[in-house]
Structure 1
């Protein structure tokens, strides 16, 4: 009989999938010139960053739910600022893509995330160029090319924005591992927002002032407080829902949930936005790319397991993850209470991964630098 802990874990996963899909669709609706008609992605991202920074400051400084980490000016200048710069860039380019291409096609392009992360990691020396991983990257790339060829409303500008955003996010992920890990600095979602969101807001201010502010002054735009407040609130809720999910599941479970979410989102986007129809060639290409992503994730999980645990079958590993749910949750909460962030089984720093759905998402270090079908869990940004 399924116990209460497993049911609660499934509930958290369901909440994550619903919020993740909902926030992406919500962002697309807000930015689309056909619906809410607010074609200012930098402005929307700044609203999310400003709201996230405000909430984080209240939680850290006013309510004192989490204590700030020991952050010197040198660490902030050499680690937080460059990470925030790439973070802001990934949100800016990723959100701008919504103006030109469909949600379904964006999800398919996001299959390139492990390719971008792998290439950047190899260049930065944090990963080795292995034949098996390289062949998987080729498989993913071929799948994305096939999917792009089958796109009815293919837009080169939107595709370029999305791919640029993906590589900016890959650089952020690798920088997070290289810079923060070497400094021994670990951040949980609240302290991450506390330090990174204000800095990202400032980085976004410059392109906003030069590109969007002049257009907003001469355009008749509608600004509905409740629309933007609820949008930012949903993105923040997504951030914390992933915080809960990561405390109760392992790498395998999270990746399966991410892949399921991507398929659900692609299907929902064609219903909510009928103009974004998908073709059979789209699906064939995405299936090819996704097979490469799944093999890649399996190899990364296998590498992690071989360095820490005896070899086990995937079903055995999933069963063990469920059995360890309560224990991992307790460890997770203790880490948060100590303001040390969530640590993986190997004791490595948490990887702060982001999607185009939420402002800042922490991905378990158990799956370092790998992506869940879309990006391991993956802006508000959109954020």
Structure 2
């Protein structure tokens, strides 16, 4: 009987693991597909639709409508958003999201996909730096050294870029800085108030705001050219891009909780390397040996930072599990003391003594408690 239970448990573990890696493969494919498709659409030499704000607005309109439908038909539960929280939190986050997407898409007018991915290697430590400024992270020398290594690697990769366009690099830098600030504000303004949003409910609340903030720059920068120039890209391809962007958010929603943050980070590295290869193969991007050296240096620094961050999160989760186990032990003692006959010498005293025993790491109770508490602690730490 025990062997059968063990086999069933192993089968469940294998099934869950395969599902997690399946979701991860879908996420990698969709992420690469969206980036490569957007590059094709926006590049004047390829798709010939040089309107990044228009493309971003189409994405946000599509995402807002579909997210609204999913919430209204009760497939997704969206938490209530008080008006004061909406004004103080959602509006600035939506404005930053518009900057992130608009400038990020504009960078593809000037830069290759491969170089953009190399620049993105600095993102984890950029988030850390902004978090330090907002007080959500604590500065330390070791992380500062990590930051210097990553920045140096990206600088070397930039120096080795054959077609370096300062305007495009500036657009990408603004996009990454805005994204780091947005992620920090989500932590400070929303999570600090106990509001938890998944990617779909985030789009439900943020996409309409993002679309609103895109209207004015669109009218000022692109509306006249959009109506006066002939499009090379048909509306079907624009709709496909929007649908793929929404599907990418859905894949992130499915992936949450199925694997660790470190695994996701490493999957992101694999995706970036794949995008660099696809950019070279499909779009003829040139990657020099100096760029490979700089990118490798940046990746090593980013990997070390992510590894140390995960180790710290695991240590905090372990400490939380020990504390929860101790609390559970104390509650068991109080419960046993209230049992009928606890003060007498009858058989219930043996139950009391059993429940007063502390939870040890090898005990089944510990094994059941640790994963639950660790997962909750990791969600708070990562």
Q: Secondary structure at the match of 2:313?
A: helix
Alignment of 1:241 with 2:272, yes or no, is: no
Q: 1:145-192: CA deviations, max 9, x gaps?
A: 000000000111100100111000011011000000221111122211
- For residues 71-86 of structure 1, what are the structure 2 equivalents within 5 Å? 71-86=81-96
Counterpart of 2:311 in structure 1 is 302
Equivalent position to 1:107, from 102, 117, 131: 117
Please name the residue that 1:293 is paired with: 302
**Counterpart for residue 55 of structure 1:** 66
**Mean Cα deviation higher: 96-105 or 205-214:** 205-214
Q: Using the TM superposition, give the Cα deviation of residue 248 of structure 1 relative to its aligned residue in structure 2, in angstroms.
A: 1.0
Q: Report how far residue 36 of structure 1 moved.
A: 1.2
**Count of residue pairs brought into register by the alignment:** 320
Contact 1:30/1:38, CA 8 A, preserved across alignment: yes
Change (3 A) 1:268 1:50: same
The whole-number CA distance in structure 1 between the counterparts of 2:274 and 2:59 is: 25
CA deviation vs aligned residue, 1:217-238 (integer Å, no higher than 9, x gap): 3222245221111111111111
- Larger helix percent: 2
Question: Take 1:272 and 1:152, find their aligned partners in 2: how far apart are those partners?
Answer: 17
The answer for unaligned runs of 5 or more in structure 1 is: 311-326, 332-342, 349-364, 368-383
- In the alignment, which residue of structure 1 is the partner of 2:159? 149
**2:225 is the counterpart of 1:194:** no
Q: Residue 341 of structure 2 corresponds to which residue in structure 1?
A: none
Whole-angstrom CA distance in 1 between matches of 2:122 and 2:378? 28
**TM-fit CA distance, 1:344:** 5.5
Task: Show CA shifts across 1:73-92 (max 9, x none).
Answer: 10000000001111110111
Q: Which residue of 2 aligns with 1:346?
A: 377
Name the structure 2 match of 1:44: 55
- After TM superposition, what 4+ stretches of structure 1 lie above 3 angstroms from structure 2? none
**Equivalent runs, 1:329-368 vs 2, <5 Å:** 345-346=376-377, 367=382
> In the alignment, which residue of structure 2 is the partner of 1:224?
234
8 Å CA contact 2:200, 2:253 repeated in 1: no
Does structure 1 retain, via aligned residues, the 8 Å contact 2:314–2:378?
no
CA-based RMSD of the aligned residues comes to 1.9
* Residue 5 in structure 1 maps to residue 31 in structure 2: no
Q: After TM superposition, give the deviation of residue 4 of structure 1 in Å.
A: 2.5
Alignment of 1:261-272 (within 5 A): 261-272=271-282
Change (3 A) 1:262 1:116: same
Ranked by relative contact order (alpha carbons within 8 Å, sequence separation 6 or more), the top structure is: 1
Deviations 1:19-50 (A, max 9, x none): 11111001100101111100000000000000
Q: Distance in 1 between matches of 2:376 and 2:142?
A: 25
**Length-normalised TM-score, structure 1:** 0.80
Pair 1:270–1:48, CA change in 2 (3 A): same
Q: Residues 37 and 70 of structure 1: is their aligned pair in 2 closer, same or farther, counting only changes over 3 Å?
A: same
What corresponds to 1:27 in structure 2?
A: 38
How much has 1:115 moved relative to structure 2? 2.8
Q: Distance in 1 between matches of 2:141 and 2:48?
A: 47
Secondary structure class of the residue paired with 1:272: helix
Q: TM-score, normalised by structure 2?
A: 0.80
- Considering only CA atoms, is the larger Rg found in Structure 1 or Structure 2? 2
Does the CA contact (< 8 Å) of 2:143 and 2:305 recur in 1? yes
Unaligned runs of 5+ in 2: 1-9, 320-367
Shift of 1:259: 1.1
CA distance in 2, matches of 1:102, 1:155: 10
